[in-house]
């Protein structure tokens, strides 16, 4: 006898009994004025508190990799990282890797990973391996004219994105949603603006320039290493030093019996000047 209330089913039985109701004028409400700046469309999909949380988490992810310059060894993956300027770092920080640099401002992102260019193989039973007059494969041109809304959204998102290399699916989902929010903000901007419309790149740059001044300067900021306090680990336990230990590098693994009071990471007293506290 089949289970009357299975765990998995195509649709609940009560759906067939429901009467569909349709509402009129469904869509974006409280649209900004048509002469609004790009930054007014950006917060329609997120809050500044959410952005600050993303910056904090990405800084936490990167602090273990680029806290010390001499960690970059021959076989280190850090050789693929490069420094970005302040305007780009703000937006990259909301969507990519980061590093907490003591600049006197709130945490912003200063590094991102280089984008790879790998060969791509195309298979099709409808098009031949030919190029059009612009040098683009005809298969790509045919696909672009037939793609649906989902594929078009993926195409728009992939134009200005560097995916996070991580096995944690939740991080991939959050950052992908963030990138789609920015793309949707640009679409709304084009549909609801009477001013000369900016290109997508100029739209992103305008948002970056408006977000950069919002990094408020912290009062009476002291040097990072002057405020670091250490405590001894009880029971003779040890941790890897966050300042000098490198399991995959030439220096090897180095253990310590003291940790940072604020973040709890292992830290030698002599390595305080190299430590970046991820909880700040």
Residue 235 has pLDDT above 80, yes or no: yes
Over 50: is that where the pLDDT of 136 sits? yes
Give pLDDT, residue 248.
67
pLDDT tens for each residue of 120-129:
777 877 778 8
Write the CB contacts of 235 (distance below 8 Å, at least 6 apart in sequence).
none
| Residue 38: closest CA among 200, 179, 212 | 200
Residue 186, token pair as written in the block: 């640009």
Most confident listed range (73-77, 89-93, 143-147, 272-276): 143-147
| Distance, CA of 180 to chain centre | 12
Q: Is the pLDDT of residue 11 over 80?
A: no
What is the Cβ-side half-sphere exposure of residue 179, based on CA atoms within 13 angstroms? 21
Give pLDDT tens digits for 178-219: 788 888 888 888 888 877 888 888 888 888 778 776 554 444
Please tell me the distance from the alpha carbon of residue 121 to that of residue 118, in angstroms, as a whole number: 10
What mean pLDDT do residues 246-253 have? Answer: 71
Helix axes 169-191 and 200-211, enclosed angle (nearest 10): 110
* Most confident listed range (56-65, 135-144, 212-221): 135-144
């Amino acid at each position: 006898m089949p289970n009357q209330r299975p765990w998995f089913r195509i649709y609940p039985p009560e759906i067939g009994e429901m009467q569909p109701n349709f509402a009129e004028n469904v869509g974006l409400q409280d649209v900004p004025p048509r002469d609004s700046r790009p930054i007014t469309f950006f917060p329609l999909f997120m809050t500044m508190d959410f952005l600050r949380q993303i910056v904090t988490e990405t800084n936490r992810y990167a602090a273990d990799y680029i806290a010390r310059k001499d960690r970059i060894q021959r076989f280190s993956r850090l050789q693929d990282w490069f420094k970005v300027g302040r305007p780009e770092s703000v937006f990259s920080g909301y969507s990519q890797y980061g590093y907490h640099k003591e600049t006197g401002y709130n945490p912003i992102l200063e590094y991102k990973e280089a984008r790879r260019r790998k060969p791509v193989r195309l298979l099709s039973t409808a098009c031949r391996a030919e190029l059009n007059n612009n040098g683009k494969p005809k298969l790509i041109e045919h696909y672009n004219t037939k793609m649906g809304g989902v594929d078009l959204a993926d195409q728009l998102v992939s134009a200005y994105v560097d995916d996070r290399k991580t096995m944690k699916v939740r991080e991939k989902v959050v950052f992908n949603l963030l990138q789609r929010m920015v793309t949707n903000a640009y679409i709304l901007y084009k549909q609801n603006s009477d001013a000369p419309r900016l290109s997508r790149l100029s739209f992103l740059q305008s948002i970056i320039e408006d977000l950069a001044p919002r990094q408020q300067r912290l009062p009476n900021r002291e040097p990072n290493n002057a405020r670091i306090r250490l405590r001894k680990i009880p029971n003779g336990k040890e941790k890897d030093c966050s300042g000098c230990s490198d399991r995959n590098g030439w220096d090897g693994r180095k253990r310590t019996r003291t940790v940072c009071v604020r973040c709890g990471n292992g830290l030698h007293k002599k390595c305080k000047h190299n430590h970046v506290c991820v909880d700040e």
